[in-house]
Amino acid sequence: MAQLQSLSKNYFKWLVDSIKRPNEEVEAQKYFGLVSMLISALLLTFAIVAAINRFIKQASEATNNTVTMKSLSFGLDFKLFILVVIGILFYVIIGFGASALGNKDGGVNFFDYVNRFGHLTNVAMILNVILILSVYTITFTSGTSLTFIKQLGFTSMVLIAISLIWQVGYILSINQSLHAPRFDKFYVIVLALIVLALAFYIFGRVEWENLALDFSSEFSQSNSGLGSLF
């Protein structure tokens, strides 16, 4: 228990330091970066599920349905979490792969890379919390489209900011890991960005239809929901 408390304290210190000075590398326990990735995945999933559940509730109230699904089932909540984790893994694995293959000696430690990437992107956790709060300000059944657009605008800006932080963190983590590059760092990073974009494109094409079917099944079985994780 004492060791766990010590690790928690050290992680919190590392987290605060990373938010204050993201680009300044500091020593950390090997799993700190992975912990940050997990927390980020949970926060982002929470925001997604909260938005969907809020839409379901407001749509139900607007249509005066007496029998309807009140929230997503635990199974769909969990699937969304897995999809978010996979998206984060794309950043981590492709970034690490580019760093390892881009170095002449290949001397890049996986946990060091994840800690570096986490240190650069931990500040996005604050925006993830803001994103969750902003979701609860959206009225999906707003009387006018202008009001809805205004409400959605702030949430969209937060999402864009989170995405930018992850993109910058991805680029800088690769750049800082290339100590003896095989060729110019610029091209290593460009190739890594292209591979990342292709990975998300292919994953989106494959998974979008499956997710649509899952939602369709969820809505058609509104009376058998298991309740929401959130």
The count of residues in the chain is 230
> pLDDT confidence of 222, banded at 50, 70, 90?
low
> Two tokens at 13?
């210190």
> pLDDT confidence of 212, banded at 50, 70, 90?
confident
Domain assignment present for 88: yes
> pLDDT confidence of 69, banded at 50, 70, 90?
low
Query: What is the CA angle 138-88-38, rounded to 5?
Result: 80
The average confidence (pLDDT) of the chain is 86
- Percent of the chain at pLDDT above 90? 57
Greater model confidence, 91 or 209: 91
In the predicted structure, residue 224 carries a pLDDT above the cut 60: no
Window from 52-61, 142-151, 159-168, 194-203 with minimum mean pLDDT: 142-151
Domain assignment present for 21: no
Domain assignment present for 28: no
Alpha-carbon span 136 to 139, nearest angstrom: 8
DSSP secondary structure letter of residue 181: B
> Two tokens at 144?
């006018």
Tell me what pLDDT residue 144 has.
Answer: 64
Domain assignment present for 162: yes
- For residue 141, the enclosing domain spans 36-64+76-222
Domain count, the chain: 1
- Percent of the chain at pLDDT above 70? 87
Domain assignment present for 9: no
Tell me what pLDDT residue 65 has.
Answer: 57
> pLDDT confidence of 226, banded at 50, 70, 90?
very low
Q: Which residues contact 58 (CB under 8 A, 6 or more apart)?
A: 139, 140, 141
Cβ contacts of 149-155, under 8 Å, gap ≥ 24: 155/131
Tell me what pLDDT residue 64 has.
Answer: 64
Domain assignment present for 189: yes
Identify the CA nearest to 174 among candidates 123, 112, 223.
112
Domain assignment present for 174: yes
Over residues 161-168, the mean pLDDT reads 97
Domain assignment present for 228: no
